[in-house]
Structure 1
Amino acid sequence: MTHVLLVDDDAELSAMLAEYLEQEGFSVHAVHDGETGVAEALSGRYQIAVLDVMMPRLGGVEALRRIRAQSRLPVLMLTARGDDIDRILGLELGADDYVPKPCSPRELVARLRAILRRGGEASTPADELRSGALRLWPSRLSAEWQGSPLSLTGAEFRLLEVLARQAGQVVSKAALSERGLGRPLARFDRSIDVHISSIRQKLGASSDGRAWIQTVRGQGYLLVKE
């Protein structure tokens, strides 16, 4: 059974979501403030966490920051609908996905299963994937860049893996969303752009100053093939 940590100060909403998740086969533990949520997330008892952005004592973005400093536990953020600043900041800090509130329990379950499915696929044995100075081991979500360990979130790893498998070719945002994030690309969804921006920063620039991941306007992204 998958153990889910639900961190949201809205006790009524938490109870409703927990009941639905348990009907879908999840085991849920709910807490209602960020500090308790961080402690629980780092306890090692959960496979995934759902974290609300707006909470007392410690907000969701700072809670995510503290979790990411010590753990790669998959985290799905709950954000106010249309609240781009918190959503994008959460993705930059390493959230695996987000769901705008108010959300339907069915959508939440679908997003959770997509994240967990990507993790399950990653646990399947796979050969090392190389593209120039980039080395990826999908079986353990491990990466090296120019001989040094490359720290990536789960979402960043899967997106970079998709690009590496087609190095030198343009990959559309729709394909990246489907194959990297496990969901169709939604209208006005900027999560791909945020993840790619973070990966670019981690890879740095090439000797001629170009980014290793190029934007091809109107088409998608391309990982430069050495």
Structure 2
Amino acid sequence: MTLLATPATRILAVEDDPALASHLQAHLQGCGFDVTMSHDGSEGLRLARAQHFDLILMDILLPGSNGLDVLQRLREQRHVPVILMSALGAEPDRIAGFSKGADDYLPKPFSLGELSVRIEAILRRVAYERRGQPPLPADALTFHEDRCDVCHDGQWATLTSTEYRLLETFSRHAEEVLSKAFLYQHVLHRGYSQHDRSLDMHVSNVRRKLKAIGYSGKRLESVWGKGYVLTARES
């Protein structure tokens, strides 16, 4: 499999387990990435703030600072894609990860092959987002592709790149019901499974963040048995 790696593609991996960290570094460097390793949360946050990275892999159970806390603090300043890695794979743990701003959540143990697929999917999305499409107006909501975020009345929603891509897709198809299968394929870039709640979590996060900045021009509504729609109509 060929990953979307160039010599300038930089990945920060924050993992305290020495064996896994070694495997991650060897695998990612073998794929052609410029890899920086960190072994505790505080150092990982410092590196993520001080340097440019195209993607961050981060464990949750870290010394120094919990991975979820690191992610929350990072999201105050950076919108770099983040994949969480954790032995805590239950649904409440995944929901907590997405709520803090994760773009993906990979339960341990995982194969390096699966990790590669997920990295490739995220880098493909980022490459698409950087094609220089103009900001899209949606009533009083302004889309800023360069920041992967939306602004309303001077307030930023602080979306993750996945949440931004999801909302942008809904905006392009306003008043059109989009199926979960379509959204998984075109936004998450993987097949739909009825047991996969990732999309629902991302939709919930977008709703919450739009409400937090006072935006009510359009709403993300669930359409039972069909999917979701961005609509200005009253329910």
Q: Which moved more, 1:78-87 or 1:38-47?
A: 78-87
Match of 1:101, as an amino acid?
A: K
Gaps of 5+ in 2: 1-6
Name the counterpart of 1:194. 201
Name the counterpart of 2:148. 141
Q: Which of these residues, 165, 190, 204, is aligned with residue 158 of structure 1?
A: 165
Match of 1:95, as an amino acid?
A: A
Q: Which moved more, 1:73-82 or 1:192-201?
A: 73-82
Q: Secondary structure at the match of 1:42?
A: helix
Name the counterpart of 2:68. 61
Deviation at 1:175, TM superposition (A): 1.5
Match of 1:35, as an amino acid?
A: S
Name the counterpart of 1:70. 77
Match of 1:120, as an amino acid?
A: A
What does residue range 172-187 of structure 1 map to in structure 2 within 5 Å?
A: 172-187=179-194
Q: Does 1:37 align with 2:44?
A: yes
Name the counterpart of 1:218. 225
Determine the C-alpha separation between the residues in 2 that align with 1:143 and 1:160. 9
**Structure 1 195/139 Cα, relative in aligned 2: closer, same or farther at 3 Å?**
same
Q: Which moved more, 1:141-150 or 1:79-88?
A: 141-150
Q: Does 1:15 align with 2:22?
A: yes
Gaps of 5+ in 1: none
Determine the C-alpha separation between the residues in 1 that align with 2:149 and 2:73. 21
**Structure 1 64/151 Cα, relative in aligned 2: closer, same or farther at 3 Å?**
closer
8 A contact 2:85–2:107 mirrored in 1:
yes
Q: For residues 88-141 of structure 1, what are the alpha-carbon distances to aligned partners after superposition, in whole Å with 9 as ceiling and x for unaligned?
A: 111111111111111111111121121122111111122332333333244553
Q: Which moved more, 1:178-187 or 1:134-143?
A: 134-143
Determine the C-alpha separation between the residues in 2 that align with 1:123 and 1:155. 13
Q: Which of these residues, 127, 133, 146, is aligned with residue 126 of structure 1?
A: 133
**Structure 1 80/21 Cα, relative in aligned 2: closer, same or farther at 3 Å?**
same
Q: Secondary structure at the match of 1:204?
A: helix
Determine the C-alpha separation between the residues in 1 that align with 2:211 and 2:150. 15
- TM-score under structure 1 length normalisation: 0.89
Q: Secondary structure at the match of 2:200?
A: helix
Deviation at 1:148, TM superposition (A): 4.8
Q: Does 1:170 align with 2:181?
A: no
Q: Does 1:106 align with 2:113?
A: yes
Q: Which of these residues, 77, 93, 115, is aligned with residue 100 of structure 2?
A: 93
